Amino acid sequence: MIIDGKKIAEEILAELKQKSRPKKFLAALLVGEDPASVSFLRIKEKVAKELGIEFQLHTFSKSVSRDILRRSLDKIAEKKMCGGIIIQLPLPPQINKHYILNAIPREKDVDVLSERALGSFYTERSAILPPSVGALVKILDRSLITPQGDDMELAGWFIENKKIAVVGLGFLVGKPIATWLVGKAKEAHFLDKGSDLSVLKDMDIVILGTGQPHLINSKMLKQDALVIDFGYSKEGKKIVGDFNPIHAPETLSYTPTPGGTGPILVAQLFENFYTLNK
């Protein structure tokens, strides 16, 4: 089964349209002109327009210093009408990303990337989830679970008897998802570079976030596994994920790339924006 991420994202946005629209603006900071980053921000801007949210894009040259970027961020964050801030990653090598991300006030950190926001998430005191975790919860709830109820509770109920592997423990996907899974799944394996991937053959759910194109294929997995692929790479002119779906059996479920987790991540970001500006 191919999981339709666009459909799930549309459902999330439809629910947001029924809520009171925040009057504050969402700011995004882009350093350089990386084509993928520009493309991602255009998608976010398009969704903001669809929801009637003011979207302010602030661009900086690739050579900008960390102090100038930090001061610019501070000025934006100080504005009372600023309801959320996005720092489009990656940043150029001369800029320490944590120095910039930690300047985002926790109440405006829609991506949950600053140390204060992450601290609240790790201690289960955060009102919002990192977008990757939120996307995982939505996929588990809306694609696979029939009962109705709270997304988090249902997702937790679904995985409590499942064996799960997270492949790739990066800052945006693997680490926050691994943290959320601890204590929830029957069995959890957190794999990174150099890990033995043979364990995947026994996993019910495999979550991918390595950015290595087609690292995993269906022969490495259970025939009825669920693959949630956050990987995003360019292979020639094509966008591909970590999972190669060619020859995948019909019993295997997976998110395609593109059209899988990407739209849900964007929708989840805006759900966070609404939650922070109730």
Reported as a single tens digit per residue, the pLDDT across 28-86 is 999 999 998 999 999 999 999 999 999 999 999 999 999 999 999 999 999 999 999 99
Q: Do domains 22-107 and 131-261 have the same CATH topology?
A: yes
Cβ neighbours of 187 (radius 10 Å): 13
Give the Cα separation of 278 and 276 in Å (integer): 6
| pLDDT recorded at residue 236 | 84
Domain ranges of the chain: 22-107, 131-261
Banded pLDDT at 146 (limits 50, 70, 90) = low
- The mean predicted confidence, pLDDT, of the chain is 94
Give the predicted TM-score (pTM) of the model: 0.94
Q: What pLDDT, on a 0 to 100 scale, did the predictor assign at position 21?
A: 97
CB-based contact 102:93 (threshold 8 Å): no
d(CA 95, CA 89): 11
- As its CATH architecture, domain 131-261 has 3-Layer(aba) Sandwich (3.40)
Which one of 3.40.640.10, 3.90.600.10, 3.40.50.10860, 3.40.50.880 gives the CATH number of domain 22-107? 3.40.50.10860
The proportion of the chain whose per-residue pLDDT surpasses 70, expressed as a percent, equals 95
Mean pLDDT of 200-223: 97
Of 60-69, 133-142, 168-177, the one with minimum mean pLDDT is 133-142
Q: Report, as an integer, the average pLDDT of 119-126.
A: 95
- Range 234-237 contact pairs with CB under 8 angstroms and sequence separation of 24 or more: 234/36
